[in-house]
Amino acid sequence: MTSTAARAAEPQPVESPEPGLSIEEVAQHTGLSKDTLRYYERAGLIEAVERSSGGRRRYSAKDLDWLAFLLRLRATGMSIADMRRFAELRRAGESSVAARLELLSTHRAEVKQHILALRGDLRAVQSKIANYQSLLEEQTGTDQS
């Protein structure tokens, strides 16, 4: 059957979606808000994200890898200013390797110091818990007499 009606019922080719992830998908994937993702771009933490033919951001796997590293830096307490500095150095290329190494080495020392402080804080909390467990056991022991 080659009628016009038969041709109209044939599936039309579907335009392939734009490559990469939308800002909504990246927000879900990273836990960052769309506003934060836009801010990271404006602040120079991430390079300008590719745009679809409709002008919407499309994040590549490379963008996601870089965001994951930025999230690690942020989670370990690096300031936005230092993250921005690192991003600038990264964009400068191979000539900035020594400066990037220095920045990360300094940050590592700060993270290690913070971990030591947290371990001390954890010991204090554990001591309090043990103390309250002991008090509770004593109270329970006297109530049952």
Ranges of each domain in the chain: 18-75, 79-145
Give the per-residue pLDDT at 140. Answer: 84
Reported pTM: 0.74
pLDDT tens track for 2-14: 444 444 444 443 3
Domain 18-75 coded CATH 1.10.1660.10? yes
pLDDT tens track for 50-98: 998 889 999 999 999 999 999 999 999 999 999 999 999 999 999 999 9
**Confidence category of residue 17, pLDDT binned at 50, 70, 90:** low
Helix (H, G, I), strand (E, B) or coil at 130: helix
Q: Which two tokens stand for residue 103?
A: 């920045």
pLDDT at 1 over 50: no
